Amino acid sequence: MKTTDVMNMSLTRMRLGAVFSLLLLMTGCGGLQEMWEGPGAKVFRPQAIAVLPPMSSQYDGAREDIQEVLALALRKAGHIERVVSPESVTDVFQGSKDAFDSLVFYFSRLEMTGQSDKESAIALGKALNVDSFLVVRVNSWEYIRKEGDNVGRVGLSLRLVDATNGATIWKARHERSKSYMFFRPNLKDIAKDLAVEMISYMPPQPRS
């Protein structure tokens, strides 16, 4: 085999290795089902965060529980100095038409384009007095039959947004399930474990 052929094969292997490493990062390296970090994730150091009301889905009945468990998981993680309570978030959107309109517009643009809208993100940050917020979608909140087992399942998609400029810092999707025979597990308990796991991957990470 020619030397040039050997070099080309080596370069091909290196490229494939780099692509494989990137795919592992995108899927959470065996942790989360999907994960993506923006270029600013490593230096992102927000001081305050709010969990927005989860986006509308077929599991709207779970919205309050999900907002609560995520805020609790953020407090436990201790990465961010101030976590706005779900009650305070609700009060802001109920008490200010401008804030509520910004929320509706932000969600509609996110649904249509898949992108975080800068102006409405900044408006939300000012209304909530935070420099970051978490966008949430409930993907599953149900009891199902899976591979012959009874299962309680909770799935979430999260998006961390810099409220000072609207940039998406981090995105992830994951789910947790628990099988049972006679007594259904509490879906909120499953959600608590899921929230803690997902937040553990979210920037900012604890300083070493």
Q: For the chain, what are the domain ranges?
A: 1-30, 31-199
Q: Which of 8-17, 24-33, 64-73, 170-179 has the lowest mean pLDDT?
A: 8-17
The pLDDT assigned to 73 comes to: 98
What are the CB-based long-range contacts (under 8 Å, 24+) for 38-44?
A: 38/167, 38/168, 38/169, 38/170, 40/162, 40/167, 40/169, 41/169, 41/170, 41/203, 42/203, 44/132, 44/160, 44/162, 44/169, 44/203, 44/204
User: What's the CATH number for 31-199?
Assistant: 3.40.50.10610
Mean pLDDT of 62-84: 97
The model's pTM is 0.84
So what's the pLDDT on residue 208? 52
